[in-house]
Amino acid sequence: MAEAILEVRDLHKHYPLTKGILFKKQVGSVRAVDGVDFDLAAGETLGIVGESGCGKSTVAKMLVNLERPTSGTIRYKGEDITKLSPRALKSVRRNIQMVFQDPYTSLNPRMTVGDIIGEPYEIHPEVAPKGDRRRKVQDLLDVVGLNPEYINRYPHQFSGGQRQRIGIARGLALQPEIIVADEPVSALDVSVQAQVVNLLDTLQTEFSLSYVFIAHDLSIVRHISDRVGVMYLGRIVEIGTDAQIYDHPTHPYTQALLSAVPVPDPEARAHRERILLSGDVPSPANIPSGCRFRTRCWKAQERCTLEVPLLAVPAVFRLTDTPAKHDSACHFAEEKQVVPPEEPEEPVGPVGPEKPEGPAVPEEPQEP
Ligand SMILES: Nc1ncnc2c1ncn2[C@@H]1O[C@H](COP(=O)(O)OP(=O)(O)OP(=O)(O)O)[C@@H](O)[C@H]1O
Ligand code: SF4
Ligand SMILES: [Mg+2]
């Protein structure tokens, strides 16, 4: 792997659980993120997947410093950004930007697109002096496939996919090195998802970006990721290259998630085994002892209750030279192919300017 631009170690975010109205007493804690480790190499895309509530957004917020970790380190180019002074942090934050999930709520409806995309320049005027901002914003609109003449329009005059392009343009405004995209396409129609994913792909090459791409849809992540980390209840339980995770998963949770991915080929679909998990995800305020997945795992044994499995190459694969040799937090890791091998990759949709979807953008801006 190329040199890591971001190194995350033993990252925790625990929220206190309190009782009482006047005299709040802490009675426990919600362990939203509970020991996450990963590296992000320069120029790579790391996909993070997992069910709702497993802590993906909390990790994302800590990476861009919207949340302070309870403990653990986030090293950006070797420097722990969780310990920086506010002044030093400001310049680091410029290099790590976020694209949010919901293009409907993440853009201020009362601001023009030009003001939304150019807002980060208020905090970092050194990137674009005042007289230069309009041109910079128009360049950004062009880069994300929108007409630069839309600069004075309001978010409601755009379709969902176009709004997400505005969100991406804003994320690019400060010329960051890393983009943390938290479910950037989950709120979009399937046909538009592919266009936005392709745009992110193109921008990555053009601007040498590194991505942390968060999603719960494993099929979307595969198209864009070099490596994938699977999260369960606050921790990464398996991580590897996209081929290792999709074609040679060794953790039962990954296998179950993959068995639910839609398979287009009817014959392959008929032959694959669907793994249905029993029970609900436990509360992050009450995480099971030993392996946190054990309450839903069909392979669980006594050892799983007693011993926490570490995220490492399992002993059975350590001396092998197979794709199953990758980090998996399971005492009884074994390979199981659950998804039919992928067809040769075809482009998932047109790259470049978005085709209009839904009602066309009106010619003249309307008042919000
Ligand atoms: N401010 C908070 N106070 C208390 N608990 C919180 C807070 N923020 C998040 N949580 C809890 O932490 C856990 C992880 O939340 P998070 O939003 O990171 O999950 P997620 O994986 O992004 O889920 P989703 O797929 O639904 O977006 C959840 O149980 C959530 O309820
Ligand atoms: S350690 Fe045990 S409970 Fe956990 S995933 Fe492996 S087999 Fe299942
Ligand atoms: Mg989330």
Per-domain boundaries in the chain? 4-16+30-225, 232-328
Query: Is 359 a residue whose pLDDT tops 80?
Result: no
For a ligand 1 pocket test, name from 29, 30, 237 the mutation site with the most ligand atoms within 8 angstroms of its C-beta.
30
In whole angstroms, what is the distance from residue 148 CA to residue 220 CA?
Answer: 29
Q: Is 221 in the pocket of ligand 2 (CB under 6 A)?
A: no
Query: Is 320 a residue whose pLDDT tops 80?
Result: yes
Q: What are phi and psi of 24, to 5 degrees?
A: -70, 130
Q: Which ligand gives the minimal distance to the CA of 49?
A: 1
Query: Is 347 a residue whose pLDDT tops 50?
Result: no
Q: Which ligand gives the minimal distance to the CA of 305?
A: 2
Can you say how many angstroms the Cα of residue 301 is from the centroid of all Cα atoms in its chain? 32
Query: Is 39 a residue whose pLDDT tops 80?
Result: yes
Mean pLDDT, residues 181-194 taken together: 90
Handedness of CA 110, 114, 118, 122 (dihedral sign): negative
Q: Which residue matches tokens 């979009």?
A: 188
Please name the residue whose Cα sits nearest to atom 3 of ligand 2: 294
Name the strand (E) or helix (H) holding 143: helix 133-143
Q: Is the pTM of this model over 0.85?
A: yes
Say yes or no: domain 4-16+30-225 is CATH 3.40.50.300.
yes
Q: How far is the CA of 12 from the centre of ligand 1 (A)?
A: 13
Indicate the DSSP class of residue 282: P
In whole angstroms, what is the distance from residue 180 CA to residue 140 CA?
Answer: 18
Mention every residue, 6+ apart, whose C-beta is less than 8 A from residue 363.
Answer: none
Whole-Å CA distances, 53 to 31, 156, 232, 281 = 11, 29, 9, 9
Q: Which ligand gives the minimal distance to the CA of 34?
A: 1
In whole angstroms, what is the distance from residue 250 CA to residue 257 CA?
Answer: 12
Q: What is the pLDDT of residues 97-134, one digit of tens each?
A: 999 887 678 889 999 999 999 999 999 999 998 889 99
Q: What are phi and psi of 345, to 5 degrees?
A: -70, 130
CB 34 within 8 A of CB 287: yes
List residues bridging with 9 in a β-sheet: 73
Q: What is the pLDDT of residues 55-68, one digit of tens each?
A: 999 999 999 999 99
